[in-house]
Amino acid sequence: MTPQEFFRNDRFASDAGIELIEIKPGYGKARLEIGPQHLNAGNTTQGGAIFTLADLALAAAANSHGTLALSTTSNISFLRSSGPGDILYAEAVEKYIGQRTAHYQVDVTNQNSELIATFNASVYRKDIPLGFTL
């Protein structure tokens, strides 16, 4: 199984239209084109859509080592709004990796490279192999 095949099983992110576009050891990048289904009542991107985008990039980076990693904490700060037609990218970078825990920073930007949100998360790595290696 490839990492791309594994992450296609993230049905929530997939149903939201989020696409994993890159995965390397300790790194993940995902993309979301904002459509009407991603908007809140104020006609801006719903925070949950941005969180889900960042969370998939985190999952890719954290699980890139081939062992199941689950988030223990996540924190997002919304810095700029986005809306219909915007293309958002989430880039997750591993900042710390220990034997069982790791920490990641995810930046969410738009098609103009403007910072939309920052997301920080810690994960716990279990002894469950995922069936792929990078």
Give this prediction's pTM.
0.96
Task: Find the domain containing 42 and state its range.
Answer: 3-126
Residue 1 — pLDDT band, cuts 50, 70, 90? confident
Q: Is residue 134 part of a domain?
A: no
- Domain membership flag for residue 30: yes
Q: Is residue 131 part of a domain?
A: no
- Give the domain CATH number at 33: 3.10.129.10
Q: In this model, does residue 133 exceed pLDDT 80?
A: no
pLDDT digits (tens, 9 = 90+) for 17-61: 999 999 999 999 999 999 999 999 999 999 999 999 999 999 999
Assigned domain for 133 exists: no
Number of domains in the chain: 1
CB-based contacts of 100, cutoff 8 Å, min separation 6: 124, 125
Domain membership of residue 96 (yes or no) is yes
Is residue 59 included in any domain, yes or no?
A: yes
